[in-house]
Amino acid sequence: MSVTPDVRILPDGRLESKLADLKPVYTDGEAIAEANRCLYCHDAPCIAACPTGIDIPTFIRKIGTENLRGSARTILSANLLGYSCARVCPVEVLCAGACVYNAWHRTPIAIGRLQRYATERLVASGGAASLLTKAPANGKRVACVGAGPASLACAGYLALEGCTVTVYEKRAVAGGLNVTGVAPYKMHAEGGLAEVAFIRSLGVEFRTGVEVGRSILPERLLKEHDAVFLGCGLGTDSALDIPGAHGEGVTGAVGWIERMKLERGFGLAEVKHAVVIGGGNTAIDAARELARLGVPDVAILYRRTEADMSGYKHELSHAREEGVRLIERATPEAFVREDGALRAVRLADGREFACELAALAIGQGSLGSLASAFAGVKTDARGRVEVEALTGRTSNPKLWVGGDATGGELVVTAVQDGKRAARSIARALGIAERDGAAMRAGAE
């Protein structure tokens, strides 16, 4: 991965650097051999299973004929974040899960790895922007709030349509969870930042360290722009209100992962036993990361049974291979401390598990109140923002919302939300449809 100005923001000595890439980029020979296994199916089920509708057989065929630029163009037109999606998408339950080879009990095409092969060199070298045509400036100004996948996609597509787009990000670093949250054995922060550099190279301006609602008010954003897209994701980790929960050693899982990925000198020296509380993908990721970082005893404590867990089965089975234990029907009642130091977690049924670190993966708060701070935005009885299902447009005609903020839970669904909002914004601003415009590629 080449060094871009964004990448230089990352300190040396981050714990995530110890976690190797589990699916390194293919060599030329490996990619061509795998591409040649594809049957280029008519009505390919893999395309229908991709939320962004990438024309998978076409990009694979182009790899087979050594047309890497053409292959990358096919991918990025339908999904501007096709590089990170190649690395982080749960392909087992999306495109590869739908591949016809599964029906014959044969290994499906490694679509994610081929997609990474087709895009990595161009994204890393800064050459990817040259694949896409840009419309002349149209004088329209758009703001995107948050620099995660949803906003990056919306911003990139609108910049290609000739809009002046500014992304406002409260953190010092752009990229959202692609940089702060994704498991390092799938992608290090450098990968997410290379993609931010690609979106910047399409002409998008980034203002980091700017929190909308605090550093800049919603009214001003609406006044200074023709449209605003809100891709602010979710809030902080939910807490557990039981004795001993407040103090060193008990932490939110998403917060812990962010420190592990980005903070210089953040370590695990004293941790011999760790528990992760929760049953979703964040819980499994945190447990796998702890085990792969060398913590000898890692357990996931889940309140129901394995069958009820929302985390992916294939991820849980990898966690087990790495030594992680699953403790079912585990309802924490108290954290046990000695002289303030965390020693164990006690369950409601009296079982106790030793731990010097407990990571809570029991959900994240909502940032719905930020959306409601924009005039005219309607919310339902549960405080969720009401949006038009196909576009993400709110009851304020200048505001669109998408990504995790509206209930998505994958990078690829956030990208699709950003793309759909970009199309809707373009229509609302009267921007003429161009033949071959990137944002019209792929599924509606």
List the x/- string, 383-412, binding to ligand FAD by CB under 6 A: --------------------xxx--xxxxx
45 binds, among ligand SF4, ligand FAD, none (CB under 5 to 8 A by kind): ligand SF4
Using rule CB under 6 A, residue 186 touches ligand FAD = yes
Q: Which is nearer to ligand FAD, 169 or 356 (CB)?
A: 169
- Select from 97-105, 110-118, 209-217, 435-443 the region that touches ligand FAD (CB under 6 A): 209-217
Identify residues 16-55 at the interface with ligand SF4 (CB under 6 A). Answer: 38-41, 44-46
Helices and strands, counts by H and E, the chain? 16, 13
Shortest distance, position 248 Cβ to ligand SF4, whole Å: 49
In whole angstroms, give the CA distance from residue 39 to residue 99: 10
355 binds, among ligand SF4, ligand FAD, none (CB under 5 to 8 A by kind): none
Shortest distance, position 329 Cβ to ligand FAD, whole Å: 25
E strand or H helix that includes residue 336: strand 332-338
Out of 128, 254, 283, 360, which residue is the one contacting ligand FAD (CB under 6 A)? Answer: 254
In whole angstroms, give the CA distance from residue 65 to residue 33: 11
List the x/- string, 69-98, binding to ligand SF4 by CB under 6 A: ------------------------------
In whole angstroms, give the CA distance from residue 400 to residue 421: 6
Using rule CB under 6 A, residue 109 touches ligand SF4 = yes
List the x/- string, 46-85, binding to ligand FAD by CB under 6 A: ----------------------------------------
Out of 31, 50, 56, 177, which residue is the one contacting ligand SF4 (CB under 6 A)? Answer: 56
**Other CB atoms within 10 A of residue 162 CB:** 18
In whole angstroms, give the CA distance from residue 16 to residue 310: 25
The three-class DSSP label of residue 353 is strand
Shortest distance, position 243 Cβ to ligand SF4, whole Å: 53
Residues 6+ apart with CB under 8 A from 151: 144, 145, 167, 176, 229, 231, 403, 418
The DSSP call for residue 140 is -
> Which residue is listed with tokens 């229509």?
427
Shortest distance, position 186 Cβ to ligand FAD, whole Å: 5
In whole angstroms, give the CA distance from residue 433 to residue 406: 27
Q: Which is nearer to ligand SF4, 61 or 188 (CB)?
A: 61
Phi, psi of 239 (to 5 degrees): -100, 165
Out of 34, 55, 169, 356, which residue is the one contacting ligand FAD (CB under 6 A)? Answer: 169
Shortest distance, position 49 Cβ to ligand SF4, whole Å: 9
Q: Six-digit token pair at 87?
A: 């690395």
Buried b / exposed e along 354-379 (16+ C-beta atoms within 10 A)? ebbbbbbbbebebbbebbbebeebee
The partner residues of 354 in beta bridges, in order of sequence, read 344
Out of 88, 110, 111, 124, which residue is the one contacting ligand SF4 (CB under 6 A)? Answer: 111
CB 431 within 8 A of CB 142: no
257 binds, among ligand FAD, ligand SF4, none (CB under 5 to 8 A by kind): ligand FAD
Using rule CB under 6 A, residue 291 touches ligand FAD = no
Using rule CB under 6 A, residue 225 touches ligand FAD = no
The DSSP call for residue 399 is E
In whole angstroms, give the CA distance from residue 284 to residue 347: 20
Out of 1, 93, 100, 268, which residue is the one contacting ligand SF4 (CB under 6 A)? Answer: 100
Q: Six-digit token pair at 397?
A: 């005609």
Out of 54, 81, 99, 426, which residue is the one contacting ligand SF4 (CB under 6 A)? Answer: 99
In whole angstroms, give the CA distance from residue 201 to residue 110: 29
Number of residues that bind ligand SF4 (CB under 6 A): 14
CA-to-CA dists, residue 20 to 16, 185, 324, angstroms: 9, 5, 18
Using rule CB under 6 A, residue 308 touches ligand FAD = no
100 binds, among ligand SF4, ligand FAD, none (CB under 5 to 8 A by kind): ligand SF4
Q: Six-digit token pair at 265?
A: 């000198």
E strand or H helix that includes residue 169: strand 164-169
Number of residues that bind ligand FAD (CB under 6 A): 41
In whole angstroms, give the CA distance from residue 281 to residue 283: 5
Q: By CB under 6 A, name the binding residues for ligand SF4.
A: 38-41, 44-46, 56-57, 99-101, 109, 111
Residues in contact with ligand FAD by CB under 6 A are: 88-89, 145-151, 168-171, 176-178, 181-183, 186, 211-213, 231-233, 254, 257, 282, 285, 367, 370, 403-405, 408-412, 414
